[in-house]
Amino acid sequence: MCTSPTEARHPLGSAQLPRDDLFQFCLTIAGDTPSSNRFFDAIASHCVPVRISYDIELPFEDVLDYSKFSIFVQSSDAVKKGYLMKLLRGIKRQKWIQMWERLKKIALHFEYQYPSQAGDAVDMIWQAVHRKICSVHDNGVRRRNRYRMSQSL
């Protein structure tokens, strides 16, 4: 995934920014199964993920803006000669720093703790369940309200 073990360890062990030559992008191509961990391994390593895939549903998309800490590339573009290198080399240091800082802040959302902590993966899952329940309930109320006018006649 990451280009070298040194690069993978550097951000985790230091609050300092990596040198220019240590910009990190982890290529995360689709795996053999939909549950492939490459993308989440990159997040845990604080390595900006470059996701090559067709449309994919990611956890907590309703509350996390993945574009703030990862890059998505269509498979059809990724196979074009030189496309990925041009794309990644075109990302300015300041933009990469913003993505890396955001990545460090959201990494907790993908970590399982025991006991669970606010904002960790378990907490995020329960929050998602709560949002889904509220959404289903609200949809039911709206559906019942559709018939209110015809029932009053």
If DSSP codes are grouped into helix, strand and coil, which group holds residue 99? helix
Q: What is the mean pLDDT of the chain?
A: 80
pTM of the model: 0.70
For the segment 73-109, what is each residue's pLDDT rounded down to a tens digit? 998 999 999 999 999 989 999 999 999 999 999 999 9
25-29 and 71-73 beta bridge pairing: unpaired
First to last CA, the chain: 65
| CB distance 49 to 70 below 8 Å | yes
Confidence of residue 37 (pLDDT cuts 50, 70, 90): confident
Quickly list H helices, the chain.
5-13, 38-44, 75-78, 83-89, 93-106, 121-146, 148-151
